[in-house]
């Protein structure tokens, strides 16, 4: 697989003038963003600026959305979630979203229930995350936080997605585990050509994975550019990231 | 001794019937959080179908799949309108809707099938009695016990051991997450309701040989099924099985020992049971459907 981002190609995801509301509360205002194939982009910002709302708007999981969201070249605004997912976007949600009353294997098989077979198979996922293979018959409620995170990522891969959206994957993980999962495992997927949208509180971690970062501040985009420029911008760091 | 065995088998056949009816109610309540008080109507429709099918001269055993398919079809139509619009609403609104519908259906069935008690002409292989230690026992009830527990077993395998069952269980846990895997959960929930309606119909078809079919039976069966679901503990398959046995035996043996006060005794026993275990016999835990 080719690993270089392709900024000239049709973006995998593009938002133009997207606003999101929960009832009368406006959470996001006029967001515009393009993510090219094979790019890895971090979305940063303080608590409550709407990072998770951005994810939920993308998958049509709750907020009322205006503006246009295009995924893989198709306008998907207002589509039911399962049709958005079938276009090739997968979500590793905040809190992992594994199904506690299902076994590890069942959690993974669910992802291939409605998706055509592709590069990723159950055995591929077990090869990639050997820890999961040992626990395949266990209920996912018995997994550790790190194992749950790998399970959520493995499940996302089995949907044969081309765009992987991760919402706060480091939350609740020990620093070394977060490092291993996000920088090593997700980093490897990104190198193999997966487009990654990473929503994170842990700024240094996110910037090590993603060459480009978007900073949300007060419901709007405050910065969008190379990760290196953020670290060189103490005012931005202090104001929007609290670092 | 023979008398005791016959009463135990009577209780078991009643339990099998309660189990099938209650499971239909229970899957919809626990998996979709939808209270369907029209479930008794599916049961009674199934009973009438069996009565008329047995009388028609067509192969008798087809009565059960036909009852399943006919009530499943009725369930599919009702699911589109109006049930679907009520899944997200409060239980009170669901109760008002489905109870109202059950009254309408009761009138329609009285109009269509008449007000008299219809007992089916049982097919030849299921007629007659077998002698157990010199006590006669109807063959039909043995058939009911066998088929009832067999169908309950199939349902358990479907929900607990298949990938489709995993999709259903996952949809209960986190519907939005299932959608992000590309699965249309609305269709999954429709299928669960259709399955539940079909179960109600096949229960009715099986029960017709024991309880006959008459106006008002829909409500009697619904109440017993509700009691079974509540005593068992909401949303547990094992609990519903256990509770169908408890309710079946309680009702049967209170009729044997206290014929005049049968219902008082049986329902008081269940009230005490619920006071002692408010969450039901088997409180919902992980991995139970």
> Of residues B169 and A81, which shows the higher confidence score?
A81
Alpha carbon distance B274, B146 (integer Å): 29
H-helix or E-strand spanning residue A133 = helix A130-134
A156 and A168 belong to one structural domain: no
Query: Is residue B142 included in any domain, yes or no?
Result: yes
Structure letter (DSSP) for residue A233: -
A80 and A192 belong to one structural domain: yes
Strand pairing category for A89-92 and A163-167: parallel
Q: Where is the domain boundary, A161, A181, A201?
A: A161
**Could you list the residue range(s) of the whole structural domain that residue A124 is in?**
101-161
Query: Is residue A8 included in any domain, yes or no?
Result: no
Mean pLDDT of B209-223: 96
| pLDDT surpasses 60 at A81 | yes
Query: Is residue B92 included in any domain, yes or no?
Result: yes
CB spacing of A85 vs B185 below 8 angstroms:
no
Nearest CB to B170: which of A81, A102, A141?
A102
A143 and A55 belong to one structural domain: no
| pLDDT surpasses 80 at A1 | no
A66 and A120 belong to one structural domain: no
Number of domains in chain A: 2
Domain containing A51 — which CATH number? 3.40.50.300
Interface check for B175 against chain A (CB to CB < 8 A): the answer is no
Please tell me the distance in Å from B287's CA to the nearest CA on chain A. 5
A57 and A176 belong to one structural domain: yes
Query: Is residue B61 included in any domain, yes or no?
Result: yes
Number of domains in chain B: 1
Cis-peptide into B82, omega within 30 deg: yes
- What pLDDT shows up at residue B289? 43
Query: Is residue B42 included in any domain, yes or no?
Result: yes
- What pLDDT shows up at residue A4? 75
Interface check for B31 against chain A (CB to CB < 8 A): the answer is no
Do A67 and A31 form a contact (C-beta atoms < 8 A)? yes
Interface check for B178 against chain A (CB to CB < 8 A): the answer is yes
Query: Is residue A117 included in any domain, yes or no?
Result: yes
Query: Is residue A93 included in any domain, yes or no?
Result: no
- Predicted complex ipTM: 0.93
A216 and A233 belong to one structural domain: yes
Please tell me the distance in Å from B124's CA to the nearest CA on chain A. 45
Query: Is residue A27 included in any domain, yes or no?
Result: yes
Nearest CB to B166: which of A80, A81, A109?
A109
Phi, psi of B96 (to 5 degrees): -60, -45
Interface of A with B (CB under 8 A): 59, 61-62, 80-82, 85-86, 90-91, 93, 97, 99-102, 106-107, 109-111, 113-115, 139, 141, 155, 159
pLDDT confidence bin for B283, thresholds 50/70/90: low
Query: Is residue A38 included in any domain, yes or no?
Result: yes
∠ CA A218-A223-A224, nearest 5°, is: 130
What sign has the CA pseudo-torsion A56, A57, A59, A64? positive
Mean pLDDT of A158-165: 96
Query: Is residue B286 included in any domain, yes or no?
Result: no
- What pLDDT shows up at residue A229? 92
Interface check for B275 against chain A (CB to CB < 8 A): the answer is no
Question: Model confidence over A194-238: pLDDT tens digits?
Answer: 999 999 999 999 999 999 999 999 888 999 999 999 988 888 888
Specify the range with the lowest mean pLDDT, choosing from B12-16, B210-214, B279-283: B279-283
A51 and A35 belong to one structural domain: yes
Query: Is residue B261 included in any domain, yes or no?
Result: no
Q: Give DSSP secondary structure letters for chain B.
A: -HHHHHHHHHHHHHHHHHHHHHHHHHHHHHHH----TTHHHHHHHHHHHHHHHHHHTS-GGGHHHHHHHHHHHHHHHHHHTTGGGGTTS-HHHHHHHHHHHHHHHHHHHHHHH-SS-B-----GGG-SEEEETTEEEEHHHHHHHHHHHHHHHHHHHHHHHSHHHHHHHHHHH-HHHHHHTT--HHHHHHHHHHHHHHHHHHHHHHHHHHH-B-TTHHHHHHHHHHHHHHHH-TT-HHHHHHHHHHHHHHHHHHHHH-GGGHHHHHHHHHHHHHHH-TT-SS---TT--
- In B, minimum Cα distance to A91 occurs at B180
Alpha carbon distance A140, B65 (integer Å): 38
Query: Is residue A2 included in any domain, yes or no?
Result: no
Question: Model confidence over B60-91: pLDDT tens digits?
Answer: 999 999 999 999 999 999 999 999 999 989 99
CB spacing of A80 vs B182 below 8 angstroms:
no
Question: Model confidence over B233-268: pLDDT tens digits?
Answer: 876 788 899 999 999 999 999 999 988 888 888 888
Q: Where is the domain boundary, A115, A139, A161?
A: A161
**Could you list the residue range(s) of the whole structural domain that residue B204 is in?**
2-215
A83 and A139 belong to one structural domain: no
Query: Is residue B69 included in any domain, yes or no?
Result: yes
A40 and A132 belong to one structural domain: no
CB spacing of B286 vs A101 below 8 angstroms:
yes
A237 and A170 belong to one structural domain: yes
Q: Average pLDDT of chain A?
A: 93
A67 and A176 belong to one structural domain: yes
Query: Is residue A171 included in any domain, yes or no?
Result: yes
Q: Where is the domain boundary, A144, A161, A178?
A: A161
Question: Model confidence over A94-121: pLDDT tens digits?
Answer: 999 999 989 999 999 999 988 777 889 9
Strand pairing category for A64-71 and A13-22: antiparallel
Query: Is residue B68 included in any domain, yes or no?
Result: yes
> Of residues B274 and A61, which shows the higher confidence score?
A61
Interface check for B167 against chain A (CB to CB < 8 A): the answer is yes
Alpha carbon distance B168, B191 (integer Å): 10
A226 and A113 belong to one structural domain: no
Q: Give me the torsion for CA of A176, A181, A185, A190, rounded to 10°.
A: -110
Best B168, B181, B236 residue to mutate vs chain A (most A CBs within 10 Å)? B181
């Amino acid at each position: 697989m080719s690993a270089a981002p392709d900024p000239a190609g049709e973006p995998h995801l593009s938002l133009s003038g997207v606003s999101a509301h929960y009832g009368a509360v406006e959470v996001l205002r006029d967001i515009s963003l393009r993510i090219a194939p094979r790019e890895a982009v971090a979305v940063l910002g303080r608590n409550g600026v709407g990072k998770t709302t951005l994810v939920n708007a993308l998958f049509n999981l709750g907020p009322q959305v205006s503006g246009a969201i295009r995924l893989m070249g198709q306008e998907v605004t207002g589509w039911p979630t399962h049709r958005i997912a079938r276009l090739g976007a997968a979500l590793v949600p905040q809190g992992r979203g594994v199904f506690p009353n299902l076994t590890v294997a069942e959690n993974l098989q669910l992802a291939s229930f409605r998706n055509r077979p592709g590069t990723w198979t159950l055995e591929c996922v077990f090869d990639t995350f050997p820890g999961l293979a040992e626990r395949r018959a266990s209920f996912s409620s018995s997994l550790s936080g790190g194992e749950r995170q790998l399970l959520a990522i493995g499940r996302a891969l089995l949907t044969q997605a081309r765009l992987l959206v991760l919402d706060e994957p480091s939350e609740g993980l020990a620093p070394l585990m977060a490092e291993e999962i996000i920088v090593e495992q997700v980093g490897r997927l990104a190198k193999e050509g997966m487009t990654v949208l990473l929503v994170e509180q842990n700024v240094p971690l996110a910037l090590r994975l993603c060459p480009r970062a978007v900073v949300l501040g007060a419901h709007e985009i405050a910065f969008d550019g190379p990760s290196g420029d953020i670290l060189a911008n103490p005012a931005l760091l202090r104001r929007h990231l609290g670092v | 001794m023979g008398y005791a065995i016959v009463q135990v088998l009577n209780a078991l056949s009643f339990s099998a019937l309660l189990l099938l009816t209650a499971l239909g109610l229970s899957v919809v309540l626990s998996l979709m959080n939808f209270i369907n008080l029209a479930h008794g109507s599916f049961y009674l429709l199934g009973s009438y179908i069996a009565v008329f099918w047995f009388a028609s001269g067509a192969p008798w055993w087809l009565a059960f799949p036909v009852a399943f398919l006919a009530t499943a079809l009725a369930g599919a139509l009702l699911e589109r309108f109006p049930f679907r619009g009520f899944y997200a609403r409060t239980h009170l609104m669901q109760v008002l809707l489905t109870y109202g519908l059950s009254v309408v259906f009761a009138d329609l069935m009285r109009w269509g099938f008449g007000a008299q008690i219809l007992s089916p002409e049982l097919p030849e292989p299921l007629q007659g009695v077998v002698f157990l230690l010199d006590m006669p026992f109807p063959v039909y009830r043995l058939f009911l016990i066998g088929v009832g527990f067999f169908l309950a077993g199939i349902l358990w395998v479907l929900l607990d051991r298949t990938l489709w069952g995993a999709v259903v269980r996952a949809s209960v846990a986190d519907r939005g997450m299932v959608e992000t895997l590309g699965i249309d959960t609305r269709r999954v929930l429709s299928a669960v309701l259709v399955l539940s309606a079909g179960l109600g119909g096949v229960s009715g078809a099986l029960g017709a040989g024991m309880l006959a079919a008459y106006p008002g039976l829909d409500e009697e069966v619904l109440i017993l099924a509700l009691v079974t679901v509540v005593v068992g503990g909401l949303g547990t398959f094992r609990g519903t099985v256990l509770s169908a046995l408890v309710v079946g035996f309680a009702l049967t043996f209170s009729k044997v020992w206290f014929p005049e006060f049968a219902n008082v005794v049986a329902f008081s026993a269940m009230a005490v049971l619920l006071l002692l275990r408010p969450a039901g016999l088997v409180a919902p835990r992980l991995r139970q459907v």
